[in-house]
A and B are shown apart, each in its own frame.
Chain A
Amino acid sequence: MRHLLLACALVPSARFAVAAPPPDRTLRRIENRVQLWSTHADGTRPLAARFELVRHTALLREPYRATGSFSADPSGAIAFVGDDTRCATTRISPDGTVSLALPSGGTRPIDAPSARWLANLLRRLFVPAEETRQALVGNDRVRIPSGRGMRLEFRPPAPEDAPHIRAVTVHLDPVAGHVARIDVFEASGDRVEIRFHDVRRPDPQHAGRPDAAGGTAR
């Protein structure tokens, strides 16, 4: 009788042990990418890089191409400075405001939810407050897109948070962990590819101006 009772107790326990869900593979893969990103992320040091931007847009017959210098400051300031004067300079100030410096000499502020969301994402990627998953992901919806490579796809929490942007895919360098490429998929159907290379963290004591490098917009 005692054995029978013991068997009755053990059988359901064994069933639970067998039926326990497997570890969330997606979550593990996201954690892997966050860990890889954190090896290079350091919000206390400035970051400088060269960038290559390609915009596939219905506004032009051919894709728009530009090169330039990218810089991110621990204060939160970020700049995309085109090599050519025919490319606007994009500046994200420490308080999150976005403005474009135009060839005509004017400045166009962009006060739109989509711009604010994208600026916030760029600051989390390049000058995070801390190198944790929460600091990188924030409130966004994150998933791993299909295909190869260490990639993360970010989507705004709600459509109205960034109505003009569908998703942003971030490609991490599989060895160094830095952001190697960003693809912005816009709601209008346009797509922007930004490739980063020569990524370095200059010593703040001797950091030169990041927009010194040459390049052309084609």
Chain B
Amino acid sequence: MWISAAWLAACVAAFLLGRVRLAPSSALFDHLPPQHRPEPDVAWLMVLLPTDAASDLAYAAEASLVEAFDAELAPLSPSHAELDAFADGHRLYFAGEDALATLDAKTTPRAIDRHVDDLYAMLGSPMFGAIAEDVRKDPLGIGRTLPTPSPWLGRIPDVGFTRLGNWVSADGTKLLLRLSSAAPPAEIERRARAVLEPFEAQASVLGRNALEAAVAVGIGGRATRILAIAACIWIAATTLTLRRARPVFALVACLSGTAVGLLPWVGALDLWSVPALLFAMAFAAEAALPSWRRTGGGWTATAILAAAPLPLLLSSHPALHAFALHFALAFLVLGASLRLVLPALAGLAGREPVWPRSGFRVAPMPLFGVLAAGVLLAGGAVAMRRANHAEPDRLARLRAPTARAERAMATTFFDPDRLVRATARGASMRDALEEARRDAAVLERLVPAEADALVSAGRLVAAPEDEARLRARIDDLHLKERFARLRTAFAERGFPPEAFGTFFALAETAATPPAPEAVLDGPVGRWIERIATVGDQAAAIPSYVLLSPDPAIVPDRIVRDDGRPVRLEGPAIARRTALRHFDDWLGMTAIASLWISSLLVWFGTRRLTVAFGAAIAGLVAQSAVLGSLVAIGLPLGVHLVPALLLAGAAAVTAAARAIETRVNQGRLAPELPLMTSTFQIGAGLALLAGGQPLWAHQGAALAIGAAAAWGVGLFVAPGIHLVLLRIRRRT
């Protein structure tokens, strides 16, 4: 009695003490290394205008949004006005040798006379007004021959920049604005909708915060539903096995109570902790059986299952580290509570379970075992080659409210995951901009082979080593004298000098080199401040690279001319790197897990053939799971690896038990496979019905793994063990 009361008090106290940690969150990007997660405060505001909207409606809507969100805007391009003003001030600096040669040819005395004659003649055309503005700003047409400096290199197909530096779709019905705001996504969306009301436009907020919030909605309800479904399945199935309802209720109550107390201590209520806890409950359930019904059910099986996911600690996925630790903790605590508390609870419940059968003998089938193992291993290998891959976060938000807007953004503009960043840091903005220039010089080489586009403020900055060379080249042109000649030619034709005042004023400043200070103080300085992060003693300016859509493309190590590496960070880098090495990593992790499991079997049995046979059984079960998942069309991913490792460990324990039973000429209690597989398959089915696609995939893997583990353990492993014994005897 007192044990039950103490357990109940402990569960309640654990839950109450930890409930502050239970705020629903999604941990959507926790599988990515922290530096590769999307920027936390960046929000993409996507605007969908009516399809029959007037052509200028998008620009009117954009102007209203820019006014409302002015302080939070962080566009990836300066406005046209800012860029034009910057270009006018430094255009000559960005001219290449060809452009300077053209400028040289256009400003000879003879060419000047010809230009002025042509200009005068053009006034006699009624069409002159269409080009008058260009002629006034640039009467010699020099600007057409000089490149316009831009922070962008490359472009996004079918997408254009608006004059304010945001994106507009080719048909003018969709707008995309980039904001940097710590405000809740719902608040941003509410403000945008209020601004867009007169335009009958819809607004959606995307970005890390918005996606995490969208997935976190209802996660607590889903977790409760899954637990309830699992409990129902467990009760129904176990009652049939044990033929007594009360002990089963006591078992499920013990499991559930301990799980509720544990929940706050195995992570928050998120995408990874809920399945970790349910997995632990499913695997710990066998501790409910009395020890005399558990062949080899002592510390060996417990240690194998608790240690199986530990190789995940060596992975680059933080969510898997947490899963491994949380699973091990929950599994051990649940197992302990079942062994210590369940007898007391069952005693309170009154009646003992019925153990009608004494067990069955294990018959080895060497030929079938070898053949089945061969077929399943080959099937697993083929499946690995043919498998599709999916990212856990993408699966998790398949049915999120933001899914439609995400698809629209990816098809109309670009997938924001492809936008990766290289952050240039310095003690001041000036230093950071200088670093960004050096980064941009090497990042440019990625376009167009590996990246669609690059945007970097560093592309607007003069390289000190080029400055003197260009200055000398521009001095060679004697532009001052040539422009004086041009003034005279204009005056002779009756053009007043002030008519081209803008041109002459700009011509005098166009050769100014854009040093970092000049860029920061100039027209584009405000844009750089919008995308930069400035601290007391440090500043960071990111350059962005839009990687090619091909998932196989991952830029190799990028090294600047001064030998320093440039690190690209962003979801696409982490995903593509992981995908490139997925098969190798999965193989190494599975083998490490099986090695630990077989080592523990050897410690428990002191028989090498048993350990080796169990390890082969684990590998065969994992191959069977992989083959089945691919056969039913489920994509593979890091989210399935814990279930795969646990399926292998379960197969190792099942195989070890079956082999031990055969070696000792004993009998295997039928409740053991029935109960363990019932709990594991029940947990898998509950996850399948939970309404969260990520959990559904994990649930399918768990259910298949549970079935495969005992199937291989009972029907394949003893035969393999027999073959191993014969080989050993012969050698």
Contact A164 B133 (CB under 8 A): yes
The reply to whether A192 and B56 contact each other, CB–CB distance below 8 Å, is no
A117 to B596 alpha-carbon distance, docked (Å)? 79
- Distance, CA A182 to CA B129, complexed state (A): 14
Q: A60 to B127, Cβ gap below 8 A? A: no
Contact B496 A88 (CB under 8 A): no
B126 partner, pick from A58, A86, A184, beta carbons under 8 A: A184
B127/A103 in contact, CB under 8 A: no
State whether the Cβ of A169 lies closer than 8 Å to any Cβ in chain B.
no
**Does B118 interact with chain A (Cβ within 8 Å)?**
yes
Taking A59-B136, A59-B499, A158-B55 as contacts, is the C-beta distance between A86 and B121 under 8 angstroms? yes
Question: Which chain A residue shows the least CB distance to B134?
Answer: A112
Q: Is the CB of A55 within 8 A of B494?
A: no
Interface size on B, residues (CB 8 A): 24
A104 and B126 form a contact (CB under 8 A): no
Does B122 interact with chain A (Cβ within 8 Å)? Answer: yes
Say whether, besides A59-B499, A112-B131, A87 and B494 are in contact (CB < 8 Å). no
Q: Does B584 contact A (CB under 8 A)?
A: no
Known contacts A59-B499, A80-B125, A118-B130: A103-B56 contact under CB 8 Å: no
B117 adjacent to A60 (CB under 8 Å): no
Bound together, the chains give a CA A112 to CA B135 distance in angstroms of 13
Contact of B130 among A59, A114, A160, A182 (CB under 8 A): A114
In the complex, which residues of chain B have a beta carbon less than 8 angstroms from the beta carbon of A114? 127, 129-130
A184→B127 CA distance, assembly (Å) = 10
Contact of A164 among B56, B123, B129 (CB under 8 A): B129
B126 contacts A103, CB within 8 Å? no
**Shortest beta-carbon distance, B145 to chain A, in Å?**
15
- Are the CB atoms of A98 and B127 closer together than 8 Å? yes
B494 in contact with A61 (CB, 8 Å): yes
Cβ contacts under 8 Å, A58 to chain B: 499
Across the interface, name the chain B residue whose C-beta is closest to A82.
B124
Within 8 Å CB of A102, what residues of B? 117-118, 121-122
- B271 smallest CB distance to A (angstroms): 48
Partner of B121, one of A103, A118, A119, A190: A103
Q: Are B121 and A88 in contact (CB under 8 A)?
A: yes
A87 to chain B, nearest CB (A): 4
A114 to B122, CA, bound (A): 16
Question: Which chain A residues in 41-64 approach chain B with CB under 8 Å?
Answer: 53, 55, 57-62, 64
User: Does chain A have a CB within 8 A of B355?
Assistant: no
- Taken together as a complex, chains A and B put the C-alpha atoms of A82 and B117 apart, in Å, by 14
Q: Answer yes or no: A133 CB below 8 A from chain B CBs.
A: no
The interface residues of chain A lying within 8 Å CB-to-CB of B123 are 55, 57, 59-60, 64
Chain B positions within 8 Å of A115 at CB level: 127, 130-131
Which residues of chain A come closer than 8 Å to B118, judged between CB atoms? 88, 102-104, 106, 108
Question: Would you give the shortest CB distance from B213 to chain A, in whole angstroms?
Answer: 39
Tell me which residues across on chain A come within 8 A of B120, comparing CB atoms.
64, 86
Residue B114 lies at the interface, judged by CB distance under 8 Å to chain A? yes
- Is A90 in contact with B125, judged by CB distance below 8 angstroms? yes
Is B130 within 8 A of A110, CB to CB? yes
Complex CA–CA separation, A104 to B113 (angstroms): 10
**Complex CA–CA separation, A60 to B125 (angstroms):** 15
Say yes or no: is A188 at the interface (Cβ < 8 Å to chain B): yes
The proximity string for A residues 134-177 relative to B, scoring 1 for CB distances below 8 Å and 0 otherwise, is 00000000000000000000000010100011000000000000
Cβ-based interface call for A30 (8 A): no
Contacting A217 at CB < 8 Å: which of B56, B124, B494? B124
Say yes or no: is B585 at the interface (Cβ < 8 Å to chain A): no
Q: Chain A nearest CB: distance from B143 CB in Å?
A: 15
A176→B637 CA distance, assembly (Å): 82
* Majority SS at the chain B contact face: helix
Chain B hits for A36, CB < 8 A? none
The B494-525 residues at the A interface (CB cut-off 8 A) are 494-496, 499
B199 within 8 A of A: no
- Tell me which residues from 79 to 96 in chain A have a Cβ below 8 Å from any Cβ of chain B: 80, 82, 86-88, 90
Q: Which residue of A lies closest to B121 (CB)?
A: A88
Are B129's CB and A184's CB within 8 A?
yes
Q: Are B125 and A164 in contact (CB under 8 A)?
A: no
Known pairs A102-B118, A103-B118, A160-B56; A55 contacts B124 (CB<8 A): yes
A199 interface residue per 8 A CB criterion: no
Q: Which residues of B contact A129 (CB under 8 A)?
A: none
Q: How far is the CB of A152 from chain B (nearest CB, A)?
A: 17
Q: Which residues of B contact A122 (CB under 8 A)?
A: 126
Q: Which residue of B lies closest to A217 (CB)?
A: B124
Please classify how large the interface on chain A is, using the bins under 10, 10 to 19, 20 to 34, 35 or more: 35 or more
Of B121, B131, B499, the most chain A CB neighbours within 10 A belong to B121
A66 within 8 A of B: yes
Interface residue? B368 (CB, 8 A)? no
Q: Does B132 contact A (CB under 8 A)?
A: yes
B360 CB-CB contact with A under 8 Å: no
Cα separation A110 to B135 with both chains bound (whole Å): 12
Contact B126 A188 (CB under 8 A): no
Within the complex, what minimum Cβ distance (angstroms) separates A33 from chain B?
Answer: 21
Q: Is the CB of A164 within 8 A of B132?
A: yes
A186 touching B132, Cβ below 8 Å: yes
Residues of chain A contacted by B496 (CB below 8 angstroms): 59-61
B136 and A86 contacting across the interface, CB-CB below 8 Å: no
Smallest beta-carbon distance B720→chain A, Å:
77
Please judge, given known A-B contacts A60-B495, A103-B117, whether A87 and B133 are in contact too, CB under 8 Å. Answer: no
| Contact pick for A62, options B114, B127, B494, CB 8 Å | B494
Do A164 and B130 touch across chains, with their CB atoms under 8 A apart?
yes
The answer to whether A119 and B127 touch across the interface, beta carbons within 8 angstroms, is yes
Chain B positions 28-62 with a Cβ under 8 Å from a chain A Cβ: 55-56
Q: How far is the CB of A69 from chain B (nearest CB, A)?
A: 13
Contact partner of B55 (CB less than 8 A), chosen from A87, A106, A112, A160, is A160
Which residues on B sit within 8 Å (CB–CB) of A108? Answer: 118, 122
Q: A60-B494, A61-B496, A192-B129 are in contact. Are A66 and B117 (CB under 8 A)?
A: no
A80 B126 Cβ-Cβ under 8 A: yes
Q: Please, which residue of chain B has its CB at the minimum distance from the CB of A88?
A: B121
Contact A112 B126, beta carbon cutoff 8 Å: no
Q: Is the CB of A64 within 8 A of B131?
A: no
Complex: A160 Cα to B136 Cα, angstroms: 20
- With both beta carbons as reference points, the residue of chain B lying nearest to A182 in the complex is identified as B126
Best-buried of A80, A104, A106, A184 by chain B (most CB within 10 Å): A104
Residue B603 at the chain A interface, CB threshold 8 Å = no
- Chain A residues contacting B127 (CB-CB under 8 Å) are 90, 98, 100, 110, 114-115, 118-119
Q: In the assembled complex, how far is the CB of residue B500 from the closest CB belonging to chain A, in whole angstroms?
A: 8
Hey, which chain B residues are within 8 Å of A182, CB to CB?
126
- Whether A100 contacts B129 in the complex (CB less than 8 A), given A59-B495, A59-B499, comes out as no
Residue among B118, B122, B129 facing the most chain A CB atoms (10 A cut-off): B129
Nearest CB of B to A8, in Å: 44
Which residues of chain B in 659-678 are interfacial with respect to chain A, using CB atoms and an 8 Å cutoff? none
- Choose one: A59, A86, A119, A165; the contact of B117 (CB below 8 Å): A86
Residues of A within 8 A of B114 (CB): 104
| Bound form: Cα–Cα A86–B198 in Å | 53
Chain A residue nearest to B118 in the complex (CB): A102
**With the chains together, A86 CA to B494 CA distance in Å?**
14
Given contacts A59-B495, A59-B499, A104-B118, contact A87 B129 (CB under 8 A): no
* Inter-chain contacts of A66 with B (CB < 8 A): 124
Binding site for A on B (CB under 8 A): 55-56, 114, 117-118, 120-133, 136, 494-496, 499
- 30 contacting pairs across A/B (C-beta < 8 A): A53-B126, A55-B123, A55-B124, A60-B496, A64-B120, A66-B124, A80-B124, A80-B125, A88-B121, A90-B124, A90-B126, A98-B130, A102-B117, A102-B118, A102-B122, A103-B118, A103-B121, A106-B118, A110-B130, A112-B131, A114-B127, A114-B129, A114-B130, A115-B127, A158-B56, A164-B130, A182-B126, A186-B129, A186-B132, A217-B124
Add 12 more A-B contacts to A88-B125, A102-B118, A188-B133 (CB < 8 A): A53-B124, A57-B132, A59-B495, A64-B123, A68-B124, A80-B124, A88-B118, A88-B122, A90-B125, A104-B117, A122-B126, A160-B55
- Top 3 nearest A-B pairs (CB, nearest first) are A87-B124, A186-B129, A114-B130
